[in-house]
Amino acid sequence: MKKIKFFLLIVLFYACTTQPNSAIPAQQNNTTVDGKLWASLFQQCAAEYRALCFQAYQIAQLRVEMSLHQPSSKPRAVITDIDETVLDNSPYAVHQSLLGKDYEPASWADWTSRAQCDTLSGSLSFFTYAASKKVKIFYITNRDEKERAGTLQNLQHYGFPFADNDHLIMKQTTSSKESRRQDVMAKHNVILLLGDNLSDFSALFDKKTTEERLSATQTSSALFGNRFIVLPNPSYGDWESALYQYNYKLTPAQKDSVIKKNVKGY
């Protein structure tokens, strides 16, 4: 009993005399960072995410099969995005989140140079099938030109068809993909477009507000699952940028405020 009383006295002494450690920073608002960690968990571990990818690519294959029954005066082609459409970058999001950070150009360039992305479920088999039917593949990405070597290495590692300089189209002067799409369409019958971001499909979605994006999606509803195949990406994209009004200089606290303002509860 005496030992227990002595222990309690020590605990009370330290509880009353110990001051907060000024070297420990106050808790930061990390809704964005923590959210991307959670989204990456879904991307890496949820069978539902894998099922959505299979579903998207199986519909894409059906659309290619249907197009082969129609005459075409131009070579057939498919246009696809890369990140979160063909290649999985969730390890990058996890790495950044565990450091308490969001996307950074330098760390992103380091990641893509490693050529370590895995593939999305169903992607390789679909593109292999399309190529076997003499359908060309054009990879239109907003990765920078300096990321070309790592991107090609990553695609070629898995044996993706048309993974060469002629069919890999990087970002040059603008993030809009419209002019690059039109260049491909001028010489090819583009039967299908694949992406995780609506701006992968049409300029109608470029730099639009959340309300405008929702409205344009409603207007274009007949194209989804037909000409447009969307892959799920809960981690990032124009849906997020639109919330911030495309202001990429917001602080974590400001992003936290925007996010909480836009979610609905009860």
The set of long-range contacts for 219-224, using a CB threshold of 8 Å and a minimum separation of 24, is none
What integer best gives the mean pLDDT of the chain? Answer: 91
Mean pLDDT computed over 141-163: 98
Going by pLDDT thresholds of 50, 70 and 90, the confidence category of residue 254 is very high
Residue 4 lies in a domain: no
Q: What is the three-class DSSP state of 210?
A: helix
pLDDT at 30: 85
Mean pLDDT computed over 245-261: 95
Going by pLDDT thresholds of 50, 70 and 90, the confidence category of residue 124 is very high
Residue 110's domain comprises: 30-249
Residue 266 lies in a domain: no
Mean pLDDT computed over 237-256: 96
Residue 168 lies in a domain: yes
Total tally of structural domains belonging to the chain: 1
CB atoms within 10 A of CB 194: 24
Residue 59 lies in a domain: yes
**What is the tens place of the pLDDT at every residue in 155-180?**
999 999 999 999 999 999 999 999 99
Amino acid at 155: L
CATH number at residue 58: 3.40.50.1000
pTM of the model: 0.89
Residue 14 lies in a domain: no
Rounded CA-CA distance 28/76 in Å is: 51
**What is the tens place of the pLDDT at every residue in 26-65?**
345 589 999 999 999 999 999 999 999 999 999 999 999 9
Mean pLDDT computed over 217-244: 98
Residue 91 lies in a domain: yes
Residue 21 lies in a domain: no
Rounded CA-CA distance 153/69 in Å is: 35
Residue 257 lies in a domain: no
The answer on pLDDT for 22 being more than 70 is: no
pLDDT at 7: 38
The answer on pLDDT for 12 being more than 60 is: no
